[in-house]
Structure 1
């Protein structure tokens, strides 16, 4: 059974483990801990296991911004990213929600499109040769 919850500090090591599956290290541990402490980290659960997580803030021009969505490779294409986004949108304190992904991340573009987000801009020079595409959705 799939469900979502606000992460708590007891989830930290499992979340960092999923993140390190993707990026190959634990360099975002402090970022994840800070998001958990602030109540801005959402986890998707399958039974008693964390399948993925989402981190957001509300400092993007006074709008919500989903800064990170990570789903464990073994749990991808099963609706967890959409589940996390739906929940975040339902609890967002702002009417506008933004996020972004690199132009090269085709699978994430599909996730945004299938969840009703639209392209809203582009930021060059974050990653050489791979611009960041900004997405937007209104609540």
Structure 2
């Protein structure tokens, strides 16, 4: 597997088509596209790229005013190459010392494995968002910078 020369930066309005390109849901769902546009405008959307868009994540305070990652998306062809881990590391760096929350469906085993690997711990469960697939909430206290 080749190491990616990955860059993570704040997404801009001009990046919206690239974000949609890595997100199959956004390609068919106008509500998801609107949400992405709003996240970009709020400066809470981060793009991972290496010559082209490979993934994105949103970091906001939509969960009880706590730092929260409501969405993390990696292009199918880039999965397993460290893109999600790099985005999560960037979010942790931006939240130094704060609690960092995210969630995943119980059925989303790849995300749950990633969160476990990164030191997130299950913090709660929300039933009835998606029928038969509970949403699990995870938390990690982001490390403070050394020094």
Please classify the TM superposition score into its range, dividing by the shorter chain length. Answer: over 0.9
Aligned 1:1-139 pairs, distance under 5 A: 1-20=5-24, 22=25, 25-27=28-30, 28-46=32-50, 48-92=51-95, 95-139=98-142
- How far apart in 1 are the matches of 2:27 and 2:62? 28
In 1, distance between residues paired with 2:112 and 2:81?
16
How far the C-alpha of 1:26 sits from its partner, in A, is 3.7
Residue aligned with 2:8, SS: strand
User: In the aligned structure 2, how far is the partner of 1:126 from the partner of 1:77?
Assistant: 28
> Aligned partners of 2:63 and 2:123: how far apart in 1?
14
Q: Which runs of 4+ in 1 moved over 4 A?
A: none
Give the CA RMSD over aligned residues.
Answer: 1.5
- The alignment of Structure 1 onto Structure 2 pairs a total of residues equal to 137
Query: TM-score normalised to the size of structure 1?
Result: 0.92
Q: Which runs of 5+ in 2 are unaligned?
A: 143-147
Q: TM-score, normalised by structure 2?
A: 0.88
Q: How many angstroms does 1:92 deviate by?
A: 2.6
Moved more, 118-127 or 24-33: 24-33
